[in-house]
C-alpha cells in the first residue's frame, strides 16, 4: 500500500510539473461565418476559449495576393479566460475576389508554462457589388389594420428579403426569375404616421439594400365592447382551462390566466405557424365568408371585461365572430393546406389553413374538425362545424386572417374589388422568366 501511495504522489507531482512547464492547451477558436461569400460590411463573430489557461493575445489578418492587412489585434489582461470579438472588413481595403483570413490566438499558461498559439486560415470571397432592387407595383393604398402587397425585382440571389416596418420584418417570396412578392400588414395598433414600409434585400455576401415604396395609409377606428362576465361563463372557462393552469385558484383567476397568458402563448404559436407557408399563392379569387351568419364581434375590437361591476381585464379581439345556427357547417375560406387541426388554447378546437405568401386563415371555437394537418382543401369545402370550445360564450365561428403571424382585417379578403386592386392585379405584374 505504501508503494502505491508513493507512486500516486509521484504521478500527481509529475502531472503538476508538466502542467506548469508545458502549459495548458492552445485556445479554442470559433469563427462565424468561417468561409464563403462575404461583403465588406458583414459582421464576423470570433469566440475564444483558453481551455484551462488564459488568453494572451489575438491577431486577425487578411491576406490577398501579396497584400496583408491587420484587421484586429488585441492583448488580453491577465486572468482572461474567454472572449467574443466582432469585426468586419469595411476598412480593410481589399478588392473583390478571394482572400484568406488568418486568425492567431495565443494563450498563457497558469504560471511557468510556455504560451501556445492556435492558427487558423479561412478562405473567403469578397463581394461588394450592391443589389439592385426595383419596385414594380405602384399605388399601394393600405388601410390601418389591413394588408398590402408589393411586387419587386432583385438583381442577385438573396439570403433574406421582404418588407421592414419599424422593427418588424415580413418575408418576401421568389415568384420566378428576379421577381418577388411580399404580403405585409399595416398593424392595427401602430400609429399610421409611423407606418413606413420599405423593401429589404440582403444577398448571400451580406450586402444590403433598403428601398422605399409609394404608398398611402388610411387611418381606421375600431369598435369597443363591454363584456359582463357571469358566474356560469367563468365556471365553463374554469372547467376547460383548469388543467392548463392548475395553480389558478378561483374561476375568475383561471379565466384571467387564460385570457392573458394563454392568449400570449397562442399569438406566439400563430407566428410560428406563419412560417409554414407556400412561397407561391394557393388561393383563388376572393375569400368566402361563412354564409347565413350575423357578425357578433369585429376585427381589432377593444374589449373590456367586467365582473360584479368591476373592470378585471382588457384585451383586443383580432378576428371576426360569425354566428349562425348551432353546429353549422364551416367552409374553407379559400384554397390551401391545413397546417394545424386540433385544440389551440383560447381558440378551442381550431383549424389553420395556409394560403401561401404567409397568408393564413384561422377557424376557432369549433365543435367538430373534419380535416387533418397536411390536407389540401378547396374554397367552400366543409372543414368542420361551429361550436363554443375555448374562450367562447356561445356557438359561433371565430374567423381570423393573419400575415406572417400578424392579424389583419378579414373584411378586405372577402371584398372582390379590394382583392383585384390590391392583390390579384399586382400579382399579374409578375412576368414569367424568359429562357436564354
**412 pLDDT higher than 90:** yes
**60 pLDDT higher than 60:** yes
The three cell numbers of residue 46 are: 470570433
Between residues 221 and 21, the one the model is more confident about? 221
Query: Which CATH number among 3.40.190.10, 3.40.50.1970, 3.40.50.300, 2.60.40.10 corresponds to the domain 133-220?
Result: 2.60.40.10
Q: What is the mean pLDDT of residues 305-312?
A: 96
Structure confidence by residue, pLDDT tens digits, 122-162:
999 999 998 999 999 998 999 999 999 999 999 999 999 99
Q: What is the mean pLDDT of residues 405-430?
A: 95
Q: What is the pLDDT of residue 358?
A: 97
Q: Which residues does 136 contact at the CB level (< 8 Å), separation at least 6? A: 151, 152, 153, 179, 429, 430
Structure confidence by residue, pLDDT tens digits, 243-261:
888 876 899 999 999 999 9
Q: Which residues does 65 contact at the CB level (< 8 Å), separation at least 6? A: none
The least confident of 48-57, 85-94, 206-215 is: 48-57
The least confident of 174-188, 289-303, 330-344 is: 289-303
Structure confidence by residue, pLDDT tens digits, 295-308:
888 899 999 999 99
Whether 133-220 shares its CATH topology with 224-407 is answered no
Q: Give me the residue label for grid cell 440582403.
A: 202
Domain 224-407: give its CATH code. 2.70.70.10
- How many angstroms separate the CA atoms of 341 and 374, rounded? 9
Query: Which CATH number among 2.60.40.10, 3.40.50.12370, 3.40.50.1170, 3.10.180.10 corresponds to the domain 26-126?
Result: 2.60.40.10
Q: What is the pLDDT of residue 51?
A: 85
How many beta carbons lie within 10 A of that of residue 56, not counting itself? 21
**58 pLDDT higher than 70:** yes
**435 pLDDT higher than 90:** no
Q: What is the pLDDT of residue 1?
A: 53
**What residue spans define the domains of the chain?**
26-126, 133-220, 224-407
Amino acid at each position: 500500500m505504501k508503494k502505491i501511495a508513493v507512486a500516486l504522489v509521484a504521478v500527481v507531482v509529475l502531472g503538476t510539473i508538466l502542467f506548469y512547464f508545458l502549459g495548458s492547451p492552445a485556445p479554442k477558436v470559433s469563427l462565424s461565418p468561417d468561409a464563403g461569400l462575404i461583403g465588406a460590411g458583414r459582421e464576423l463573430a470570433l469566440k475564444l476559449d483558453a481551455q484551462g489557461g488564459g488568453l494572451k493575445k489575438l491577431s486577425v489578418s487578411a491576406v490577398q495576393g501579396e497584400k496583408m492587412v491587420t484587421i484586429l489585434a488585441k492583448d488580453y489582461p491577465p486572468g482572461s479566460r474567454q472572449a467574443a470579438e466582432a469585426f468586419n472588413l469595411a476598412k480593410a481595403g481589399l478588392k473583390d475576389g478571394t482572400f484568406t483570413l488568418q486568425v492567431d490566438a495565443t494563450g498563457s499558461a497558469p504560471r511557468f508554462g510556455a504560451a501556445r498559439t492556435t492558427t487558423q486560415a479561412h478562405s473567403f470571397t469578397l463581394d461588394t457589388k450592391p443589389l439592385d432592387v426595383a419596385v414594380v407595383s405602384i399605388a399601394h393604398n393600405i388601410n390601418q389594420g389591413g394588408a398590402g402587397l408589393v411586387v419587386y425585382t432583385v438583381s442577385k440571389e438573396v439570403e433574406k428579403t421582404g418588407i421592414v416596418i419599424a422593427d418588424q420584418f415580413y418575408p418576401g417570396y421568389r415568384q420566378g426569375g428576379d421577381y418577388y412578392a411580399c404580403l405585409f400588414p399595416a398593424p392595427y395598433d401602430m400609429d399610421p404616421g409611423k407606418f413606413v414600409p420599405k423593401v429589404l434585400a440582403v444577398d448571400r455576401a451580406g450586402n444590403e439594400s433598403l428601398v422605399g415604396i409609394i404608398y398611402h395609409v388610411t387611418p381606421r377606428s375600431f369598435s369597443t365592447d363591454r363584456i359582463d362576465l357571469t358566474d356560469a361563463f367563468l365556471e365553463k372557462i374554469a372547467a376547460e382551462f383548469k388543467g392548463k393552469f392548475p395553480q389558478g385558484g378561483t374561476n375568475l383567476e383561471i379565466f384571467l390566466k387564460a385570457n392573458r397568458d394563454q392568449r400570449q402563448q397562442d399569438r406566439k404559436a400563430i407566428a410560428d405557424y406563419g412560417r409554414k407557408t407556400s412561397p407561391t399563392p394557393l388561393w383563388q379569387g376572393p375569400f368566402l365568408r361563412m354564409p347565413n351568419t350575423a357578425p357578433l364581434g369585429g376585427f381589432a375590437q377593444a374589449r373590456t371585461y367586467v365582473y360584479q361591476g368591476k373592470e378585471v381585464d382588457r384585451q383586443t379581439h383580432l378576428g371576426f365572430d360569425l354566428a349562425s345556427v348551432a353546429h353549422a357547417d364551416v367552409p374553407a375560406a379559400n384554397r390551401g393546406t391545413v397546417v394545424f387541426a386540433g385544440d389551440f388554447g383560447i381558440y378551442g378546437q381550431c383549424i389553420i389553413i395556409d394560403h401561401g405568401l404567409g397568408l393564413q386563415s384561422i377557424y376557432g371555437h369549433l365543435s367538430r374538425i373534419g380535416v387533418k394537418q397536411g390536407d389540401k382543401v378547396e374554397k367552400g369545402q366543409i372543414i368542420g362545424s361551429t361550436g363554443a370550445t375555448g374562450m367562447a360564450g356561445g356557438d359561433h365561428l371565430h374567423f381570423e386572417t393573419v400575415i406572417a403571424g400578424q392579424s389583419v382585417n378579414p373584411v378586405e379578403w372577402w371584398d372582390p374589388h379590394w382583392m383585384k386592386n390590391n392583390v390579384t392585379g399586382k400579382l399579374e405584374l409578375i412576368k414569367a422568366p424568359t429562357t436564354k
